[in-house]
Amino acid sequence: MTTVDPDTAAPPSAERARRRAAGDPVKALLHRHRELCERAVDPLEIAAGLEAHGITDRTAARFRHRDVFSLAEELYARSPRGEEPAAATAQVPAGPSAYRALGCALLPGALAAAAAAAGQAWAGPAAVAATVAALVWPGRAAGGRFPWLAHLLAAAVAGWAAYRYGTALAVGLALAVAPGHLLAAAFAAGARARLDGSRALEDFADRARPLLLASVAGFTAAAVGAAALAGAPLPVAVPLALLLFLTRLLLRHGSRRGPVAAALALALVPVPPAAPAAAAVLLVHAVLALSRASAHARP
C-alpha cells in the first residue's frame, strides 16, 4: 500500500499562493496597489502612481516588462472596475470656471495698482495678501506635520520684502500673478500632453524639463515687465516673483513642502543675495520634482 505525503499531495493555500505569485509577479503587484489600479482612469495614472512608490523602468524588468508604462498597461487591463469616471477627459480647465480663475488672477494686480495710484496706505499690505493668496493657495501638496508652513513663509517673504522696499514692490508682485496663472496652466496642460505621448519615465523627463524651463523663462520676462510697470527694483522684485511662481508650481503638483519651506526661509535672510539664491535652489528642486510623471497624475 502506497502512502501519500499530505504536504506534496495538497500544498497549503499559502504555499500555493507563493507559487502562483512566483509564476505571475504582476499579480502580487496588482494586489499590493489594488486601490491605485482600481480607481485609475487610464494606465498613465497607474504609471505615475508606481513611480511615486519608487518603481522605475529598471524595477519593471523584474516584472517582465520593458518599462513602467508597459507594466501599468497590464495592471490597468487586469484591474476590475465599474463604469469609467465621467471626468476622465477633463484634463484642462475650460468654460466658465476657467474664466473665473483668470478673473481671480487678474484681480490682485488691478486692485493693487488702483490702490497705489489712489495713494491708499493699505495698498502694500493688500497687494501682498492678494499675491500670496493667488500664487500659493494650497494645491495637492504632500501632507506633513505643518501643512500651512510653506504658505505662511510665502506671506512672510512677500510682506518683509514690501516692508523693506515699499509699495511698488508689492504692486509688481501682484501684477505678476496673472501671467503666473496663465503660464502655470499652460505648463500643467503641456506636461500632461507629454505624459500621454511618453513611453518611458526617462522619455517623459526629457520632454518635461524643457517645458518647465520655457515656463520659467516666460514668467521671468513677465515679472520683469510687471516690476518695471510698477517702478519696483528689478534685482529684488524678479527673484521674489520667481520664487513665488515656483512655490505655486510645486505645491499645485503635489511636491513635498519641506524643500519649498526651506527655500522660502532662505529668502527671509536680510542680505541682498538671499532671494536670488532661494529662487535658484527652488528652481533646481523644481526641475527634479516636476520632471517626474507622478507630479502630473490627476489629483
The string of pLDDT tens digits covering residues 222-265 is 999 999 998 999 999 999 999 999 998 998 887 888 899 999 99
pLDDT of residue 97: 61
Nearest one of 172, 159, 160 to 113, comparing CA atoms = 172
**Residue 21 C-beta-side C-alpha neighbours within 13 Å:** 11
Tell me the average pLDDT of the chain.
77
Most confidently modeled range among 62-71, 120-129, 138-147: 62-71
Question: Do residues 155 and 265 make contact, with C-beta atoms less than 8 angstroms apart?
Answer: no
Among 13-17, 35-39, 277-281, the range scoring the smallest mean pLDDT is 13-17
What is the DSSP-derived secondary structure letter of residue 67? Answer: S
Looking at residue 282, its pLDDT comes to: 96
Task: Provide CB contacts within 8 A for 295, sequence distance 6+.
Answer: 48, 191, 253, 254, 255, 289
pLDDT at 240 (0 to 100): 93
DSSP string, 130-171: HHHHHHS---S----S-TTHHHHHHHHHHHHHHHHH-HHHHH
Percent of all residues in the chain with a pLDDT value above 70, rounded to a whole number: 69
pLDDT, tens digit, 9 for 90 and up, residues 30-52: 888 888 887 777 777 788 888 88
Q: Can you give the pTM of this predicted structure? A: 0.71
95-116 residue pLDDT tens:
556 656 666 666 665 666 666 6
- Any idea what DSSP says for residue 185? H
Q: For residue 102, which amino acid is it?
A: L
Among 2, 3, 1, 31, residue whose Cα is nearest residue 18: 31
The C-alpha atoms of residue 116 and residue 170 are separated, in whole angstroms, by: 10
Tell me, what's the pLDDT at 57? 76
Kindly state the percentage of the chain with pLDDT values over 90: 24
Backbone CA torsion sign across 161, 250, 225, 281: positive
